[in-house]
Amino acid sequence: MFDSSVFQVNESNLSSRISQATHYLEEFEKEVARAQGAASNTFRNKEDALGRIKVLVEFAPEDDRVKDLFARAKACVKGGAGNISTVDPSMTVYLENEENIRKHFAEVSEKAWNDILAANTENKLEKVFPTPDFNKYMLEDMQGKIVVLDNVRYPENQFMGSTGEYVWSGTRSDGMYFVRIDGRQWLGLTKR
């Protein structure tokens, strides 16, 4: 059991106190090595070693011997907590690759979407809401028109109808669009 009142440090006994702390740290390191990576709370020399090193760090934080003891104690505490692996940048390169792929697909899809809109400017229905009134417009007037629906909530607005699977957009007051999503066009498997 470590008692900090007994372990007093001053300039005259610094070297001997470092030697004492080193002895307890070496014993603690041996216990951690014997545990072979298993987590344990029953290291006999842990409290004695860490308590002495703490007092030394408070008294002489710039001493190289104390810094070395502190680094060794830190490694020992990590080792005594169980199997620990250090994550190096090569282990997380997939995160960077994922971000690059995400950016690439965002750029490609944005370009493709803009190309579709540019190619169909004459067929695009400019005013989406309120929906065209069937009493004013003939079906032939709407054939071939493209409607761009913003704020389509998928899968929140998804539902099963009697004729297939749909997603809806709009409001009751402005009208609603029902888009069939159980076909190949929704999945992007066919070209128009």
- Are 173 and 113 found together in one domain? no
What is the rounded average pLDDT of the residues 116-127? 84
Angle between helices 46-59 and 14-35 (to 10 degrees): 140
Residue 167 lies in a domain: yes
- Are 142 and 191 found together in one domain? yes
Residue 7 lies in a domain: no
- Are 114 and 177 found together in one domain? no
- Strands in 164-171's sheet, in edge-to-edge order, are 158-161, 164-171, 175-180
- Backbone dihedral angles phi then psi of residue 61, each to the nearest 5 degrees: -70, -20
The residue type at 12: S
Residue 4 lies in a domain: no
- Backbone dihedral angles phi then psi of residue 124, each to the nearest 5 degrees: -80, 130
- Are 126 and 190 found together in one domain? yes
- Are 49 and 97 found together in one domain? no
Residue 43 lies in a domain: yes
Query: Domain tally for the chain?
Result: 3
Residue 9 lies in a domain: no
Instruction: Indicate whether 6 pLDDT > 80.
Output: no
Residue 3 lies in a domain: no
Please state, in angstroms and rounded to a whole number, the distance separating the CA atoms of residues 56 and 48: 12
Task: Write out the residue range of the structural domain in which residue 111 sits.
Answer: 87-119
Please state, in angstroms and rounded to a whole number, the distance separating the CA atoms of residues 34 and 121: 74
Q: What confidence category does residue 102 fall into, taking pLDDT thresholds of 50, 70 and 90?
A: very high
What is the rounded average pLDDT of the residues 155-164? 88
Sign of CA dihedral 9, 11, 13, 16: positive
Length in residues, the chain: 192
- Are 39 and 75 found together in one domain? yes
Q: What is the mean pLDDT of the chain?
A: 82
- Are 113 and 143 found together in one domain? no
Cis (ω within 30 of 0) for the bond into 155?
yes
- Are 108 and 65 found together in one domain? no
- Are 130 and 181 found together in one domain? yes
- Are 104 and 158 found together in one domain? no
Please state, in angstroms and rounded to a whole number, the distance separating the CA atoms of residues 77 and 156: 49
pLDDT in tens, 31-40: 888 877 666 6
Burial bucket for residue 184 (CB in 10 Å: 0-12, 13-18, 19+):
exposed
- Are 105 and 136 found together in one domain? no
pLDDT in tens, 35-80: 776 666 677 778 888 888 888 888 888 889 989 999 988 888 887 6
- Are 146 and 157 found together in one domain? yes
Distance of CA 9 to the CA centre of its chain: 46
Residue 106 lies in a domain: yes
Residue 6 lies in a domain: no
